[in-house]
Amino acid sequence: MTDEKPLGFSTRAVHAGQEPDPATGAIMTPVYLTSTYVQPAPGKHKGFDYARTAHPTRLALERNLAALEGGKFGLCFASGMAATSTVVQTLSSGDHVVCGNDVYGGTYRVFTKVFRRFGLSFSFVNVCDLKAVEAAITPSTKLVWIETPTNPLLQIVDIAAVCALVKTKGVKVAVDNTFATPYLQQPLSLGADLVVHSTTKYLGGHSDVVGGAVVTGDAALHESLKFLQNAVGAVPGPLDCFLVLRGTKTLALRMERHCDNARRVAEHLARHPEVAKVHYPGLPSHRGRDIARRQMRDFGGMISFELKADVYRALRMASSCKVFSLAESLGGVESLIGHPASMTHGSIPREERLKAGLTDGLIRLSVGIEDADDLIADLDQAIASSK
Ligand SMILES: *Cc1c(COP(=O)(O)O)cnc(C)c1O
């Protein structure tokens, strides 16, 4: 049956990696609360010997995420940062990484404050500019780290173009696909070597779990990451894996609503007389719109914008919403509003932030799955009351 049609995304989301429990027939993957497994004879086991090394609930999630990203191998971690750190731990002292200058604040922090101390070097460049990427590559460069859409400015990086550029130089490409999710964008099919996730966000989808994952199609890379997963040990617990596995089942449905709501909110803000600038890849004015149309199924649920007037107004506005909650994080069913300069991106020095275009007045929205009319009315009242 070689010409069998591959299963669609939603079917894989519901079924991949999951089989009825062989012991009981339970249709949902059990939460195996165990740290070890009984061996019939020394060194003989059913694929599970110790739960840091291998765990059945985790394995189901790893297979599910690999299937969603179109990769062969998935590995889960205790957080997105643990996943990111494990990827960097495949490198050695002296190696160089080229990283986008508009990435998650915690990524910037772990690269500069932790891994630099171990002799790795990092260059932060605008990865939307292929010439800047090319200029930053040195003979020691081993990895290019991309986030797209970027956080919090929602710029679009051309994944296929970056991969084509660096592939000939033996440089690997990792894409943090947290903002887009595999429903909207599959970096491995565009030439990336690794996909990294904070499953805390859209994959979990309900703001009730912290987790991370790495997916690859490269067996050698997978082996070294799997070795590190066990050797370093930043593994997720079984209940956390269960929650993410529950989340991915509705990923496609949720993302469709996130995208529809975000499009309506972005269009509304773009027309609002008090709003100076809206960053949303689905707006006709967005510079990366054509690339986004090519590499994404839709434009996602994240928006950032600036009000006319001062920073203090932005702070007042962010505190005045009633449906949007003022909080870090993103990707849950509920809408969140944040002020990157003082919240998610506070760990990036101000001059670095400004260089990347992240102004003190920027507000970020994670648009949830509520009714779009309520979200728009809430933003309008918050803008009006912040005057
Ligand atoms: C949240 C986030 C991370 C870090 O993930 P944690 O699960 O919080 O450790 C990394 N990248 C992006 C894009 C994120 O939004």
Number of alpha helices (DSSP H) and beta strands (DSSP E) in the chain: 14, 12
| CATH of the structural domain 251-385, one choice from 3.90.1150.10, 3.40.50.620, 1.20.1440.230, 3.40.190.10 | 3.90.1150.10
CATH 3.90.1150.10 domain locations along the chain: 251-385
With H, G, I as helix, E, B as strand and everything else as coil, classify residue 258. Answer: helix
pLDDT at residue 349, rounded to an integer = 85
> Could you tell me if 97 and 144 are in contact, meaning their C-beta atoms sit under 8 angstroms apart?
yes
- Which of 176, 193, 240, 378 is catalytic? The answer is 176
The answer for residues whose C-beta is within 8 angstroms of residue 94's C-beta and 6 or more apart is: 119, 120, 140
Q: Span 295-324, mean pLDDT? A: 94
Q: Span 134-143, mean pLDDT? A: 98
Query: Which candidate, 169, 112, 174, places its Cα nearest to that of 136?
Result: 169
Residue keyed to tokens 């998935």: 74
Beta strands in 91-187 (DSSP E): 96-100, 121-125, 141-147, 172-176
Q: Span 183-188, mean pLDDT? A: 98
Residue 104 appears among annotated catalytic residues: yes
Distance CA 328, CA 315 (A): 14
- Which of 104, 108, 183, 202 is catalytic? The answer is 104
* Cβ of residue 357 lying under 6 Å from some atom of ligand 1: no
pLDDT at residue 315, rounded to an integer = 93
Residue 174: beta bridge partners? 145, 194
CATH 3.40.640.10 domain locations along the chain: 9-249
Kindly state the tokens that stand for 68: 């969603």
The pLDDT-based confidence of 357 (bands split at 50, 70, 90) is confident
- Provide the mean pLDDT of the chain: 95
Report the range of poorest mean pLDDT among 205-219, 239-253, 354-368. Answer: 354-368
pLDDT at residue 297, rounded to an integer = 98
Distance CA 317, CA 352 (A): 25
pLDDT at residue 1, rounded to an integer = 46
DSSP code string of 51-73: TTT--HHHHHHHHHHHHHHT-SE
Distance CA 245, CA 4 (A): 26
> Could you tell me if 213 and 178 are in contact, meaning their C-beta atoms sit under 8 angstroms apart?
no
Distance CA 250, CA 254 (A): 6
* Cβ of residue 242 lying under 6 Å from some atom of ligand 1: no
User: Percent of the chain having pLDDT more than 90?
Assistant: 89
* Cβ of residue 106 lying under 6 Å from some atom of ligand 1: yes
Q: Span 197-204, mean pLDDT? A: 98
Distance CA 371, CA 67 (A): 31
Could you tell me how far CA 69 lies from the centroid of its own chain?
12
CB burial readout 238-270, b (16+ within 10 A) else e: bebbbbbbbbbbbbbebbebbbebbbebbbbbb
User: Percent of the chain having pLDDT more than 70?
Assistant: 99
Distance CA 295, CA 32 (A): 38
Kindly state the tokens that stand for 252: 């496609």
Distance CA 357, CA 355 (A): 5
pLDDT at residue 278, rounded to an integer = 97
Distance CA 338, CA 305 (A): 11
Distance CA 146, CA 100 (A): 6
pTM to 2 decimal places: 0.96
Following CA atoms 127, 133, 139, 142 in sequence, which dihedral angle do they give, to the nearest 10 degrees? 20
> Could you tell me if 364 and 337 are in contact, meaning their C-beta atoms sit under 8 angstroms apart?
yes
Cα radius of gyration rounded to whole Å, the chain:
21
Residue 176 appears among annotated catalytic residues: yes
Residue keyed to tokens 């949720």: 254
pLDDT at residue 3, rounded to an integer = 66
* Cβ of residue 30 lying under 6 Å from some atom of ligand 1: no
CATH fold label, 9-249? Aspartate Aminotransferase; domain 2 (3.40.640)
φ and ψ at 74, to 5 degrees?
A: -125, 145
Kindly state the tokens that stand for 302: 């994240």
The pLDDT-based confidence of 343 (bands split at 50, 70, 90) is confident
* Cβ of residue 201 lying under 6 Å from some atom of ligand 1: yes
| Substitution candidate for ligand 1 out of 99, 103, 104 with most atoms within 8 A of CB | 104
Q: Span 149-157, mean pLDDT? A: 94
pLDDT tens track for 204-234: 999 999 999 999 999 999 999 999 999 999 9
41: how many CB neighbours lie within 10 A of its CB?
A: 6
Report the range of poorest mean pLDDT among 111-115, 145-149, 260-264, 305-309. Answer: 305-309
Query: Which candidate, 365, 338, 346, 83, places its Cα nearest to that of 199?
Result: 83
pLDDT at residue 347, rounded to an integer = 79
Q: Span 248-265, mean pLDDT? A: 98
pLDDT at 71 over 80: yes
